[in-house]
């Protein structure tokens, strides 16, 4: 389940002030099969707090998604360092399998994101949360989502969406806007419709996508986070 973004990767909009990350604990969930346990870890201290091998893996996943050219507006992948700051520089979440050893299980939350795990098998997806507008409008956020290629169709996107709705209000955000949900991205549309988002606008012919011979409209989705 790829996400929807608008901002320039080179720009940084400051979060709402004051914006001190709250004490967010990892969230635990089960995938669609009712058996697979997932732990979703909040990243509040920037890219340096993320295992380097995990950053490297997610950079490859995101670069492949850009190359597919169907869900994000960028035409060229960014370098690893730029990606790390872009994705993890404000606030992000990483979804991984809860290890059979208990690592990442409730009560052992600090041990789950460690160097050396087999991320290709154990990392399921990630998303970030950022202000959508600057200054007096910075309490409105957006988010970008990426479900890892091998984990699609298992309900990872839905779990990440539910986690977003839990964390974003705790970060001080009041409303969510997704700027570019392409109209042919049926997987994302199902998730956002199912989580109570509504279409608040449409941009006709917004995107030249590799999976369409015609220009594709972009839907703008919105949802109150505190009502």
What is the average pLDDT across 38-52?
Answer: 95
Sketch the domain layout of the chain as residue ranges: 27-174
Second CATH level (architecture) for the domain 27-174: 3-Layer(aba) Sandwich (3.40)
Three-state SS string over the chain comes to CCCCCCCCCCCCCCCCCCCCCCCCCCEEEECCCCCCEEEEEEECCCHHHCCHHHHHHHHHHHHHHHHHCCCCCCCCCCCHHHHHHHHHCCCEEEEEECCCCCCCCCCCHHHCCCCCCCHHHHEEEEEEEEECCCHHHCCEEEEEEEECHHHCCCCHHHHHHHHHHHHHHHCCCCEEEEEEEECCCHHHHHHHHHCCCEEEEEEEEEECCCCCCCCEEEEEEEEECCC
Position with higher pLDDT, 16 vs 33: 33
Give mean pLDDT, residues 205-213. 95
What is the pLDDT of the chain when averaged over all its residues?
89
Per-residue pLDDT averaged across 89-109, rounded? 72
**In this model, does residue 5 exceed pLDDT 50?**
no
Whether the predicted pLDDT of 223 surpasses 60? yes
Residue 112 — very low, low, confident or very high, per pLDDT cuts 50/70/90?
confident
**Over residues 141-170, mean pLDDT:** 96
* The model scores a pTM over 0.85: yes
pLDDT of residue 21: 67
Would you state the pLDDT for residue 155?
95
More confident call, 34 vs 9: 34
Tell me what percent of the residues of the chain surpass a pLDDT of 70: 85
């Amino acid at each position: 389940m790829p996400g929807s973004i608008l901002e320039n990767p080179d720009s940084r909009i400051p979060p709402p002030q004051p914006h001190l990350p709250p004490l967010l604990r990892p969230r635990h969930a089960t995938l669609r099969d009712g058996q697979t346990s997932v732990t979703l870890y909040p990243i509040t201290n920037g890219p340096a707090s993320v295992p380097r091998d995990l950053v490297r893996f997610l950079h490859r996943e995101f670069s492949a998604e850009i190359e597919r050219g169907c869900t994000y507006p960028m035409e060229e992948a960014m370098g690893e360092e730029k990606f790390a700051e872009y994705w993890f520089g404000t606030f992000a979440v990483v979804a991984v399998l809860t290890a059979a050893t208990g690592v990442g299980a409730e009560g052992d939350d600090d041990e789950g994101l460690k160097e050396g795990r087999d991320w290709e098998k154990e990392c399921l997806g990630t998303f970030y949360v950022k202000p959508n507008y600057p200054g007096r409008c910075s309490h409105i956020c957006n988010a970008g989502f990426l479900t890892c290629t091998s984990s699609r169709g298992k309900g990872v996107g839905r779990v990440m969406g539910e986690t977003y709705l839990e964390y974003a209000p705790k970060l001080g955000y009041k409303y969510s806007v997704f700027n570019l949900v392409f109209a042919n991205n049926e997987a994302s549309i199902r998730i956002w419709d199912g989580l109570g988002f509504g279409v608040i606008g449409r941009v006709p012919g917004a995107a030249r996508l590799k999976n369409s011979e015609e220009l594709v409209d972009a839907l703008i989705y919105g949802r109150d986070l505190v009502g």
